[in-house]
Amino acid sequence: MFAQQIDTQPGPSSLRDSTFLEEKAFQSRTVLIFGTVTDTLASETVRKLLALDADSDAPITVIVSSPGGHLESGDAIHDVVRFISAPVNMVGTGWVGSAATHLFLGAPRERRYCLPQTRFLIHQPSGGAGGSASDMALQAKEIIKARERIAQVISRETGQPIERVRMDIERDLWMSAGDAVAYGLVSRIIQHKRELDPR
């Protein structure tokens, strides 16, 4: 007996629904960053930020729920958030980890918020070094440089001493919403969009 095959490909109706929801989010100047941080996600996010910035100087809200991913893709979003003229409100929800925490720190501290159940994760970058001994040595040097760069950004954006940050990212450091506020990752915990800075 054969199991009935279920078509998992999105049909015209679901594609229309997805397009409609994307348009509504765009009209409300909201950008969603959900899932693993990849070059594709970074490209889509940067395009949206640039388009919204060109449209108006009104604030943009970026909602983040991501375990992290590719560090340099997170760099791209982090830097463009700082590059554009429109102010960006970052709102964490679910979990914000690793490269997602890095892009989250692109907004100034007073514009970094989270919902009550959000968890945050900071740690040093990891890499699967392979190849020849000289290639592995080069990769190790790059990871060390990336670790120091991450530590400098976290220290700058939270106000924590660089020595403490270097120690904190040696291992996974998980934080609750309250812990993240105390650490300086987040300015405050909110429960409703009306609590965002309207300016």
Which sequence spans correspond to the domains of the chain? 30-192
The answer on pLDDT for 25 being more than 90 is: no
The answer on pLDDT for 129 being more than 80 is: no
Kindly state the average pLDDT of the residues 37-45.
97
Does the annotation count 102 as an active-site position?
A: no
Residue 35 CB partners (closer than 8 Å, separation 6+): 41, 66
Query: What is the pLDDT at residue 48?
Result: 97
The answer on pLDDT for 10 being more than 90 is: no
Of residues 9, 61, 54, 51, the one with CA closest to residue 190: 61
pLDDT band at 4 (very low <50, low <70, confident <90, very high): very low
Query: What is the pLDDT at residue 40?
Result: 97
Helix (H) or strand (E) holding 83: helix 71-83
Mean pLDDT, the chain, rounded, equals 88
pLDDT in tens, 77-112: 999 999 999 999 999 999 999 999 999 999 999 999
What's the one-letter identity of residue 35? G
Kindly state the average pLDDT of the residues 106-133.
85
Kindly state the average pLDDT of the residues 165-177.
96
Kindly state the average pLDDT of the residues 13-31.
74
Kindly state the average pLDDT of the residues 129-158.
82
| CA pair distance 35, 66, nearest whole angstrom | 5
What's the one-letter identity of residue 87? P
CB-facing half-sphere around the CA of 112: CA atoms within 13 A: 26
pLDDT band at 2 (very low <50, low <70, confident <90, very high): very low
Helix (H) or strand (E) holding 43: helix 39-55
The answer on pLDDT for 51 being more than 70 is: yes
Residue 85 CB partners (closer than 8 Å, separation 6+): 53, 57
> Considering Cα of 28, then 184, then 163, then 119, what sign does the dihedral take?
negative
Give the least confident one: 5-9, 28-32, 180-184: 5-9
Q: Which of 78, 102, 123, 192 is catalytic?
A: 123
Residue 63 CB partners (closer than 8 Å, separation 6+): 30, 31, 32, 33, 34, 91, 93
The answer on pLDDT for 1 being more than 70 is: no
Domain formed by 30-192, architecture: Alpha-Beta Complex (3.90)
Q: Phi, psi at residue 171, to the nearest 5°?
A: -130, 165
Residue with the two structure tokens 């919403």: 177
